[in-house]
């Protein structure tokens, strides 16, 4: 009887160490009577995954260097202060006590700076956590999560008189039966709308200052200083407006987040888009080269302001559109006179 018409065997139990159990490797020939053969399943090459290569953890020599250098600097400063105090006491007692009082004053000032920086970082983390919570609550339409996030938002602005009406309205809304997403939309309208209007004024004023100063400035170095100072100022003002108020370290962290937001949204690749906006608005014939440069610098400042608004705002823009570059273009070009030479 051929193999194709062979009666299949009944299911039977067997032990792997039985003498009649053999593994099929292609060289055993015809199976014997009462012999069981185990045929390995074929393994496709893509099913074979190489085990990850474990690399030894690298030694962080850079951190060792910075830690040792910082320790030596701290010891040097401490020894220098100790030597100075001893010399002052050697001269006269009152000089020594004055030196100790000045050291205590410096220590108190350093402690105050550290506390202020830690508080600023904590406020920034609170803003980031609140923005994520409000966005998640709106996306999931979770009423409980929305109420918890709005309660924290109300606590964030409890000392802000311009939000008093919005806080009272939101407390009344949370006592009603409203879906989570609708509660977030109401919080945007009642609580954040006045702050958004103030943020737009801050961005517009900064963009106008940069536009005017760089248009009349005779030096490129002065333009660079003005633009840098105004960008730092706009980030600080927007952060303070929305409740961040960062210190020096917090501001550096916030500036990195703004730069990252610009990179993600493609904001700094604005050369072609700004030129196309000028041409689309028919401004190429109205602006001299210097005025055009000033307006472009103003729009770039406005773009940084838009990114800073997105980063500093304690909630994402859900029910309303965030500020855009086109919103500031008319404000920057409204007072530019037409160049008579191009008429």
Q: To 5 degrees, how large is the angle CA 122–CA 127–CA 132?
A: 125
Q: Residue 22 is encoded by which pair of tokens?
A: 């053999």
Q: What is the mean pLDDT of residues 247-251?
A: 85
- pLDDT value at residue 16: 60
Over the chain, what is the mean pLDDT?
77
284 pLDDT exceeds 50? no
The beta-strand segments (E) located in the chain are 21-23, 36-38
Cβ contact 123:244 at 8 Å: yes
pLDDT digits (tens, 9 = 90+) for 206-234: 888 888 887 777 777 777 888 888 888 99
Under the banding of pLDDT at 50, 70 and 90, the label for residue 24 is low
39 pLDDT exceeds 70? no
181 pLDDT exceeds 60? yes
148 pLDDT exceeds 60? yes
339 pLDDT exceeds 50? no
- pLDDT value at residue 112: 92
Q: Residue 219 is encoded by which pair of tokens?
A: 């030096």
18 pLDDT exceeds 90? no
pTM of the model: 0.67
Q: What is the mean pLDDT of residues 46-52?
A: 49
Nearest to 223 by CA among 210, 239, 208, 204: 210
122 pLDDT exceeds 60? yes
CB atoms within 10 A of CB 205: 15
Q: What is the mean pLDDT of residues 275-288?
A: 49
């Amino acid at each position: 009887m051929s193999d194709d018409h062979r009666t299949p065997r009944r299911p039977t139990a067997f032990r792997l160490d039985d003498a009649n159990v053999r593994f099929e490797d292609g060289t055993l020939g015809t199976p014997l009577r009462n012999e069981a053969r185990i045929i390995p399943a074929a393994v496709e090459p893509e099913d074979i995954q190489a085990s990850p290569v474990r690399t030894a953890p690298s030694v962080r020599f850079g951190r060792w260097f910075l830690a040792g250098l910082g320790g030596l600097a701290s010891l040097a400063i401490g020894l220098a202060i100790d030597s100075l105090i001893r010399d002052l006491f050697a001269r006269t007692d009152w000089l020594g006590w004055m030196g100790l009082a000045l050291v205590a004053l410096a220590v108190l000032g350093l402690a105050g700076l550290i506390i202020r920086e830690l508080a600023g970082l904590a406020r920034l983390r609170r803003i980031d956590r609140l923005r994520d919570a409000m966005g998640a609550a709106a996306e999931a339409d979770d009423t409980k999560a929305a109420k918890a996030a709005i309660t924290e938002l109300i606590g964030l602005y409890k000392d802000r008189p311009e939000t008093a009406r919005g806080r009272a309205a939101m407390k009344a809304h949370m006592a009603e039966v409203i879906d989570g997403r609708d509660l977030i939309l109401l919080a945007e309208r009642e609580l954040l709308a006045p702050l958004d209007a103030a943020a737009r004024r801050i961005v517009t004023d900064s963009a106008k200052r940069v536009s005017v100063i760089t248009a009349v400035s005779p030096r490129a170095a002065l333009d660079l200083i003005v633009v840098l100072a105004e960008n730092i100022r706009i980030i600080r003002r927007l952060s303070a407006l929305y409740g961040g108020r960062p210190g020096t370290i917090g501001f550096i962290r916030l500036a990195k987040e703004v730069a990252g937001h610009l990179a993600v949204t493609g904001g700094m690749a604005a050369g072609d888009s700004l030129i196309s906006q000028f041409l689309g608005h028919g401004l190429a014939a109205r602006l001299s080269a210097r005025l055009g440069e000033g307006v472009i610098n103003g729009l770039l400042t406005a773009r940084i302001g838009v990114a800073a608004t997105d980063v500093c705002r304690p909630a994402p823009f859900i029910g309303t559109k965030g500020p855009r570059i086109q919103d500031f273009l008319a404000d920057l070009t409204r007072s530019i006179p037409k160049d008579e030479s191009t008429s």
